[in-house]
Structure 1
Amino acid sequence: MKRRLHIFIVLLFLGFQFSNAQDPNVVGGKSTVKIDFKKTNIKTKITFNEAKNLSNFSKKNKLNNRKVQPIDPDDPIGPDDPIDPNCLTDPKTGKCVDFDIPGDPITNTKEAGSTAGSLSVSLTGAASYSIPIMVPPGIKDVAPNIGISYTSQGANGLAGWGWNVSGLSTISRIPATKYYDNKHDGIDFKEDRFSLDGQRLIIKSGTYGASGSVYQTENYSNVKVVAYGASPYGSTYGPSYFIVYYPDGTRAWYGNSGNSRGRLEWAIFRWQDPQGNYVDYNYQSDNGLLSIKTIKYGGRIGGPSPMNQINFTYATRVRPENVYVGEYSFKRTNLLRSIQVTASGSQYRKYELTHNTTSLGYQRLASVKEYNAQNKALRPITFGYENTSSWIKKRVKSGDLYPGFNYKTSSLIAGDYDGDGRTDVIFYNKNTRDKIYLHINLYDKISLGYKINTEQFSDVFSSTILSWNNKILRQQAVTTVRETSTSSTSSTSAVRFRTFAQAAYGPVHQYDKVWNASKYRTDNYCSSSSYYAIPKKYISGDFNGDGLTDVIAIEKSYTSRNCIQGIGGGDLIEALPESANKINTEEKSISKIKPIDDCDCSSYTTNQYNAKVHFIDLKRTVTSNFAKVSGYLRKGIGSKDRILTADHNGDGKQDIYHFKEGKLYIYIKC
């Protein structure tokens, strides 16, 4: 139906002002208010000639495909609409003529009605839009409540960017938290926690994840969730399935059949009321991720089989979505294309979804077209999206950085060093490494610069520390690393972590942490040996989840020499020191030195297969036992390798990414 009305609403605001002062309209203690009404002609109907002119203008300017707002579904035909809303009467011929008018919600369908949809705003401020899927009634009103829903805060969903199928229920894995579980632990299929449709499941009895354990939802309710069996994926994966018991006798099964169980979730398979009427859900697996395939209802236990069915059809995504959980890869390659509802084998409704594709390959829902039981299309709902400009707007402010920055010899580290919420910088000379220049207020016309005279350091990084009164500093600090090894006879060297932080009058030294690191031994000759510092790579980050900066020290490869007296050129492998025999090596080169006076020496250059990793807690209040061996890397660090950090498993602690050519190794804290 085409609306031919342009209605303007005139709002009349009447203001009343009360005063104790005398007013000419106040007579004898009574107030009178004089209101003047002005006659206004409100145009409620477009004329034939106006429609004709608008139509000609539209064709001339090619505006026939202009996007318009849909007709109000609550008032598709206004009281002043013509009898036939699809045409206007030609005053000369008396015949009905249909025009294409700009702003008129014209589609290529002649069917009356439109697809329902509702717009709302969530409590978090997200724009939400829902399209309910019309389904025939089931036995005693037992039927699924399915829809297509959008949220502006959503990511790439099953039906497009921000779009998903609503009305489905799942029990999913979630991380352990300090508040509920007294520890931070990401999803790793070991000691995961569970949630029912976003509600954390709190253990009431039994062992979390074990068969027979009973749970309640985080927001208290009378719903009881019971776990059964053991997962076929392994004993650490939790139960095989769940049953949810509702106070009215209704039950719901999750993960026990219908391909409703995956590594990440247990999807609802059956919902059943106390009388035995049920709804069954079946799924298909898309590279480890579940997608709804069919919904059957209208059946009863011991009675007729389901006579109503909802079928979901998918297309292949332009840009698949990959996610890694634990040591497994999950990939979403399908995109919802259509939904068909049937009753007793005949079509009841059908919904076709079309998408457009962004420059990055993301697909957005462009329209939803509904078909009735006769397969006749109703007016589609169309969606438009704003596109972000592909260019970055320049915002240039010039300033001076004393004593100047040379990209060849200088290195720069960004951070908020004065706590004002804006980025500041420190830079230093990579050759001298004996002082640091701190610059704040870079957005002001005059930036403030400070010089920090430090001892010579090997590394420097920004850090989050505690103040003298054990509160986290608002501003970031700067920590330098210096390793001193003055004696070749000592088996340890002192690694000093010195921290500075900005105060009201400039940077101030806060505290030091000294770690006595082990050195490696090499023989000068059979009668003498020396100790040297093991080369290391230092990585900063919050590795224990306390919100403060820690350090990981990874040992690099080194060359040592072993000399043995009086073996006359014996087996060199047997001549390795006991400590070297315990190290698996990836690459080893041996150079033999000519024996002198029966002293046989061999040099070994070792790229350690198990590179040792040390953890150093820089927390100000921890003054002893703050360094320990954290483990080993599977591969040694090569000259072209890169080490980065990120919270890979969402447990609030930094993990390590080791990039080698063609490979990526990820290490998480257990």
Structure 2
Amino acid sequence: KKALGTYETDISSGAATYNYPLYLPKGRNGLAPQVSLSYNSQAGSSDSITGYGWNLSTGGSISRTKEYGMLEIYDTNEFSLNMSGAGGKLLPVSLTDDEHGEYGLQIEEAFYKYEFQTDESWLVTDQNGLEYYFGQTTDTRQDDSDDLTRIFEWYLDEIRDPLGNYVRFEYYKENGRVYPKAIYYTGFGTAESANDGPLEIRFQPFYDGVSTSDERADWTKWYDKGFEVKTEYLLSEIEILLDDSIVREYDLAYTVGENGLRSMLESITETGTSLEGDIVTLPTTEFEYQNNGLTYSYTEHASIASPDMDDAQLTDINGDGYADQAFFAGISGIYDYVYASLNGGDGLSFGGEYFEAYYTISGTRELDYYTSLLDMNSDGLQELLALFSPSLSSSCMYYNYGEGLLFEYYDRGCNVPYSVSRETKGYRFGDFNGDGLSDLFTGDETTASWTSSDNNPIYLNTGDYSFSDSGYDSPTDFAWGTNTSPGFYVGQDTGARLADINGDGLTDIVQAYRDLGYVYPSTDDGTPIVKYYLNTGNGLFVEDTDYTMYESPAFSSGMIFASMEYSQFGLSTQTYYASSNDTCFLDFNNDGIVDIMEGSNAYVWNGIDTWTASTINISSSANLNCGGTHGTVTTTISNNNDLNGDGFMDFFESLEEDVYGKDSYLSDEDKPDLLTNISTLGGAEIAITYKSALQYED
């Protein structure tokens, strides 16, 4: 049976791709819009208006590049082109000022002419004289409503041939998002409604007007463009009209993904008008996706002997895609060292040559120190970062070459500018400006303050193995300070954590704690306090009330990171102590949305307001935990712990007193929400299976 549409495996990326055909009438002199509906297994985005993994293309756009981070996004003159026949990075060729003028593709293939005009619009001209206009009005620009000069994306709003024929595009804007509304073609003369031709494409519900009934449950709110963009609607219909009468229509229906909320394109139904004027509905094309049913199984495998896992990290040391074992040790007052046991590629064997990096501390060795492995320059290799208190003047970094010598001292160091001492126990890392580099988040040693304007706690990674003061302030303390009332211990956990809550690639802050002290009933009644601070990318965090994480009956104690109680009950002598709960953020089911682990329990988040308890089928003797602590029967979770290269989180047993017999627990599950089956209207079936590239031997 003949399949409808085109399925291909992308040769360069290995992605599964599928194009659903949309049949459009021909335009005058061959001038017609190019509208496509396509799927890509590696392009899943929660803000897609056609469902996860799908994309609707209606002509193209030109946007700013985000590779340098939010602070520079509107100060660079590099842009990205996305249109039929051409695409890539646009770089300046001949400018009339700092930004406007002629541009060219970094890798030229189409040989078009690209002009950024002084009225803030773009003009692209191809070799046949066709002119493509982008962002001629604010209606066809994605911009900051508080500052219209901050334009992130220019959408195609007109195509014109040398004879005067044109195609005109309309869009609908709401809350920073630009949606397709209509396309008019076979027009002639000035591009306006009076001159539009008889052919028209309408995109619903945007053409007729959206209502509350059109709002999607899995809306997104992102700040990755330097301003708030909220995506609230899905495409429901594509209508093709001739002289205001519908001649063909595509109805899109949606279902939910594994987390119970994510929008997934379930079917497309095509309806048309026959030559006799009859309405004909063709068989529906249906789509199916991988779904684990919130049940996750692990197979226990005996691993070969390895050193004890005390103070160890599971992370990819040599850049081959497999998590290795990294161990930290030292001789007091002499030197410290890290050595790595490399993964054999199956998640079961570790060994081979043990690469080692020795480092000494300049000056007096302090008791408090923080050593971490993280990718400082986005080369896929972990650098060794050693930070020491009471100041960072003796901090150092070791560069990872990936071959032979694993780490080598980098003589420029990685010293952080500072005006006061920092509390090393509070060092954390996250991407705060969206440039893909690990930034440093720290607190004041004396007052435990993370928010003082004099002690900006966030240092941005410069990309050259150093950090610079960003001027960013935290919206909340991560440890109670001396002035905190009613008398929390200085330095105790406030329940604040770093996580990308909304999935826009920027590190946000969540604070969740419970006060169990009851001395002041009006304030200390045990009610959980949960706050969400979204990173705007420009140095500010905004407290958000649309997201809800606590409301879930599945939790035994709620999503609480810290609990405070009175240790004495006299009003004059009251003191508090805080206990940090074994609760952490991680993407447990590999669906791209952060989840929660609470001890051995995993809760899958739908990205908005609901946590659902999942079933973990693993050895009954294994106790999972987030902290990575060791014990006699503890299976630890560490960073980047994909042991066998399938993209899923695996576990490795932590038995300090026993260097033999440690086991690996490898995931048996499939990545959620990937397209697996297409039932086309022609009666054909297309089945798709997936396998990690790392799991192919050749």
Unpaired segments ≥5 residues, structure 1:
1-70, 74-115, 178-183, 231-238, 485-491, 521-532, 560-584, 587-606
1:461 aligns with 2:346: no
Deviations 1:108-133 (CA, angstroms, capped at 9, x unpaired): xxxxxxxx533333343333322332
Q: Name the SS for the 1:259 alignment partner.
A: helix
Correspondent of 2:6 among 118, 121, 130? 118
What is the aligned partner in structure 1 of residue 124 from structure 2? 244
Q: Name the SS for the 1:336 alignment partner.
A: coil
Residue 166 of structure 2 aligns to which amino acid in structure 1?
Y
Deviations 1:231-269 (CA, angstroms, capped at 9, x unpaired): xxxxxxxx2x11222332221221114821112311111
What is the aligned partner in structure 2 of residue 132 from structure 1? 21
C-alpha contact 2:434 2:537 (8 A) present in aligned 1 = no
Following superposition, the deviation at residue 518 of structure 1 comes to 7.6
Matches within 5 A, 1:370-409: 370-373=270-273, 374-388=278-292, 390-397=294-301
Following superposition, the deviation at residue 328 of structure 1 comes to 1.4
Following superposition, the deviation at residue 370 of structure 1 comes to 1.6
Following superposition, the deviation at residue 293 of structure 1 comes to 0.9
State how far apart, in whole Å, the 2-side matches of 1:297 and 1:518 are. Answer: 61
What is the aligned partner in structure 1 of residue 455 from structure 2? 611
C-alpha contact 2:223 2:535 (8 A) present in aligned 1 = no
Following superposition, the deviation at residue 377 of structure 1 comes to 0.9
What is the aligned partner in structure 2 of residue 354 from structure 1? 253
Q: Using structure 1 for the length normalisation, give the TM-score.
A: 0.56
Correspondent of 1:363 among 263, 282, 298? 263
Residue 306 of structure 1 aligns to which amino acid in structure 2?
G
Matches within 5 A, 1:160-199: 160-175=51-66, 188-191=73-76, 193-197=78-82, 198-199=87-88
What is the aligned partner in structure 1 of residue 233 from structure 2? 334
CA 153–193 in structure 1, closer or farther in 2 if over 3 Å, else same? same
1:299 aligns with 2:187: yes
Q: Using structure 2 for the length normalisation, give the TM-score.
A: 0.54
Following superposition, the deviation at residue 400 of structure 1 comes to 10
C-alpha contact 1:174 1:193 (8 A) present in aligned 2 = yes
C-alpha contact 1:258 1:281 (8 A) present in aligned 2 = no
Matches within 5 A, 1:207-222: 210-211=99-100, 213-220=101-108, 221-222=110-111
What is the aligned partner in structure 2 of residue 180 from structure 1? none
Q: Name the SS for the 2:298 alignment partner.
A: coil
Residue 462 of structure 1 aligns to which amino acid in structure 2?
S
State how far apart, in whole Å, the 1-side matches of 2:297 and 2:279 are. Answer: 50
C-alpha contact 1:161 1:362 (8 A) present in aligned 2 = yes
Following superposition, the deviation at residue 359 of structure 1 comes to 3.0
C-alpha contact 1:175 1:186 (8 A) present in aligned 2 = no
Following superposition, the deviation at residue 372 of structure 1 comes to 1.8
C-alpha contact 2:64 2:73 (8 A) present in aligned 1 = no
Following superposition, the deviation at residue 145 of structure 1 comes to 2.9
State how far apart, in whole Å, the 1-side matches of 2:248 and 2:156 are. Answer: 24
1:279 aligns with 2:279: no
What is the aligned partner in structure 1 of residue 685 from structure 2? none
C-alpha contact 1:462 1:476 (8 A) present in aligned 2 = no
CA 342–433 in structure 1, closer or farther in 2 if over 3 Å, else same? farther
What is the aligned partner in structure 2 of residue 54 from structure 1? none
What is the aligned partner in structure 2 of residue 255 from structure 1? 135
Residue 343 of structure 1 aligns to which amino acid in structure 2?
L
State how far apart, in whole Å, the 2-side matches of 1:298 and 1:514 are. Answer: 61
CA 557–506 in structure 1, closer or farther in 2 if over 3 Å, else same? same
C-alpha contact 2:142 2:154 (8 A) present in aligned 1 = yes
State how far apart, in whole Å, the 2-side matches of 1:493 and 1:262 are. Answer: 42
What is the aligned partner in structure 1 of residue 619 from structure 2? none
Q: Name the SS for the 2:299 alignment partner.
A: coil
Residue 370 of structure 2 aligns to which amino acid in structure 1?
V
What is the aligned partner in structure 2 of residue 152 from structure 1? 41
1:440 aligns with 2:341: yes
CA 504–401 in structure 1, closer or farther in 2 if over 3 Å, else same? farther
Total equivalences in the alignment: 462
CA 266–628 in structure 1, closer or farther in 2 if over 3 Å, else same? closer
State how far apart, in whole Å, the 2-side matches of 1:615 and 1:377 are. Answer: 59
Q: Name the SS for the 2:288 alignment partner.
A: coil
Residue 369 of structure 1 aligns to which amino acid in structure 2?
T
State how far apart, in whole Å, the 1-side matches of 2:35 and 2:379 are. Answer: 50
1:72 aligns with 2:2: yes
Q: Name the SS for the 2:202 alignment partner.
A: strand
Q: Name the SS for the 1:610 alignment partner.
A: helix
What is the aligned partner in structure 1 of residue 607 from structure 2? none
CA 300–338 in structure 1, closer or farther in 2 if over 3 Å, else same? same
CA RMSD of superposed structures (Å): 5.2
C-alpha contact 2:61 2:153 (8 A) present in aligned 1 = yes
What is the aligned partner in structure 1 of residue 215 from structure 2? 316
State how far apart, in whole Å, the 1-side matches of 2:404 and 2:88 are. Answer: 50
